[in-house]
Amino acid sequence: MSLISAALGRISPSPTLAMTTRTLELKAAGVDVIGLGAGEPDFDTPDFVKEAAIEAIRSGRTKYTNVDGTPELKAAVCAKFRRDNGLSYEPSQISINVGGKHTLFNALVATVEAGDEVVIPAPYWVSYPDIVQYCGGTPVIVHAGAAQGYKITPEQLEAAITPRTKWLVLNSPSNPTGAAYSADELKALGEVLLRHPHVWVMADDMYEHITYGDFRFATVAQVVPDLYERTLTVNGCSKAYAMTGWRIGFAGGPAPVIKAMMKLQSQSTSNPCSIAQAAAVAALNGAQDFLVERNAAFQRRRDLVVERLNAIPGVHCPTPDGAFYVYPDVSGLIGKATPGGRRIGTDADLIDYLLDEARVAAVHGAAFGLSPAFRVSYATSEALLAEACSRIADACAALR
């Protein structure tokens, strides 16, 4: 009899966290490595958010709360969905969880079982397929390469749906590509979904507030109101408010799903940290204007990285509309050899080479289900990004 469960045997450790750990180990050993692997803003949590947490500690809000969140945070989330997305949810339709990953985990564990299929566009955020597999479900991967802007088409969605499809997971702006669906693109996908009333939509909007230029964020329940009754709209504080360590995620959706998520949470984590919840109330209800300045900084970094990567022969880097990632296609480098005679057969080989020779850490495309490519997180200073791009360019130029 095996000690470790079969369910756990179906999943792997997060490859993005593995790269972060490898980078930290190299840095601790004194190696001058530039980390472009981490999926978090380098900005600090805003002071007014920290102050709210300190006040929560001082005033004794340090006890258990309602399992699925404090009334104050649920009210703030309802107000956020109304203000930002034109979506009307009652508190009974809101779930507060220990980070966005926990929100998605709860939703999938509460609904997916053996035989169920979940449609996941690739490149995908690394955890979706693993959580589905943990549940015993089957991820149905729909590939969308650089040539189609890393976005699936209505035809591809139609072809992927079967009588067993339970969910479509739609992440926009995307981790790992930064690609974002316009309202019209969402409507076109929505038309397909309206023809298949058994399919639910999990909209992962974690990067909603990090968008650039003229792009206008939209979410599916807003632009296709007929899908409201079968959409779970997932969001959180981690990315917009630089609160990755505080662990607050949330969702709005039909009350039965929300109730099922609460049931699961009541037997696992119980409530999210009371202090983090108080901080999240401040973040959601407070002035949002600091986002403009931060996005301007992100946009400058995006432009720098896209330009520098596109100048490298064999690399093609689309310009994304959101998040803080780019996903260069490296088809032109596959098959080449390093100065030491190692063949670059895959994007994982390229990433190993870049780490060993250029001292730049990024994550290989295979981890996100679409190769050959790699993910660059540009949530770091322009000076470091410029240096990292020079190192990558030199290393790529040395390939034969």
Ligand X SMILES: Cc1ncc(COP(=O)(O)O)c(C=O)c1O
Among 46, 99, 129, 369, binds ligand X (CB under 6 A): 99
Span near ligand X by CB under 6 A; candidates 99-107, 182-190, 194-202, 338-346 = 99-107
| Residue pair 198/163 in contact by the 8 Å Cβ criterion | yes
Token pair 């064999």 is found at 314
User: If binding is defined by CB under 6 A, does position 175 make contact with ligand X?
Assistant: yes
User: If binding is defined by CB under 6 A, does position 66 make contact with ligand X?
Assistant: no
- Which tokens in the block code for residue 42? 């380098």
| Residue pair 367/124 in contact by the 8 Å Cβ criterion | no
Nearest Cα residue to 294 out of 99, 45, 85, 37:
45
Other C-beta atoms lying within 10 Å of the C-beta of residue 352 = 15
Site string for ligand X, 180-219 (x = CB under 6 A): ------------------------x-x-------------
DSSP letters along 72-129, please? HHHHHHHHHHHHHH-----GGGEEEESSHHHHHHHHHHHH--TT-EEEEEES--THHH
User: If binding is defined by CB under 6 A, does position 121 make contact with ligand X?
Assistant: no
Name which of 65 and 175 has its Cβ closer to ligand X. Answer: 175
In angstroms, give the least distance from the CB of 65 to ligand X: 18
Name which of 233 and 338 has its Cβ closer to ligand X. Answer: 233
Name which of 76 and 333 has its Cβ closer to ligand X. Answer: 76
- Which tokens in the block code for residue 127? 């955890």
Name which of 101 and 301 has its Cβ closer to ligand X. Answer: 101
In angstroms, give the least distance from the CB of 314 to ligand X: 27
- Which tokens in the block code for residue 283? 């973040």
Name which of 232 and 315 has its Cβ closer to ligand X. Answer: 232
User: If binding is defined by CB under 6 A, does position 236 make contact with ligand X?
Assistant: yes
Nearest Cα residue to 35 out of 24, 47, 45:
24
Judged on CB neighbours under 10 Å (0-12, 13-18, 19+), 258 is: buried
User: If binding is defined by CB under 6 A, does position 327 make contact with ligand X?
Assistant: no
Name which of 99 and 320 has its Cβ closer to ligand X. Answer: 99
Name which of 244 and 299 has its Cβ closer to ligand X. Answer: 244
Q: In this structure, is the dihedral angle defined by the CA atoms of residues 159, 165, 166 and 171, taken in order, positive or negative?
A: negative
Side-chain-facing half-sphere of 57: CA atoms under 13 Å? 6
Q: In this structure, is the dihedral angle defined by the CA atoms of residues 44, 274, 132 and 184, taken in order, positive or negative?
A: negative
Name which of 101 and 166 has its Cβ closer to ligand X. Answer: 101
In angstroms, give the least distance from the CB of 84 to ligand X: 17
- Which tokens in the block code for residue 216? 């206008």
In angstroms, give the least distance from the CB of 175 to ligand X: 3
Token pair 């490298």 is found at 312
CA 175 – CA 152 distance, rounded (Å): 15
Span near ligand X by CB under 6 A; candidates 7-15, 96-104, 133-141, 212-220 = 96-104
CA 387 – CA 378 distance, rounded (Å): 12
Residues 24-53 that bind ligand X (CB under 6 A): 39
Name which of 173 and 349 has its Cβ closer to ligand X. Answer: 173
Question: Between vectors from CA 230 to CA 8 and to CA 87, what angle results, nearest 5°?
Answer: 115
User: If binding is defined by CB under 6 A, does position 238 make contact with ligand X?
Assistant: yes
Name which of 185 and 204 has its Cβ closer to ligand X. Answer: 204
Among 14, 66, 153, 244, binds ligand X (CB under 6 A): 244
CA 9 – CA 322 distance, rounded (Å): 34
In angstroms, give the least distance from the CB of 194 to ligand X: 25
Residues 124-143 that bind ligand X (CB under 6 A): 125
Token pair 């926009």 is found at 172
Site string for ligand X, 334-373 (x = CB under 6 A): ----------------------------------------
User: If binding is defined by CB under 6 A, does position 171 make contact with ligand X?
Assistant: yes
User: If binding is defined by CB under 6 A, does position 100 make contact with ligand X?
Assistant: yes
Q: Which residues bind ligand X (CB under 6 A)?
A: 39, 99-101, 125, 171, 175, 204, 206, 236, 238, 244, 249
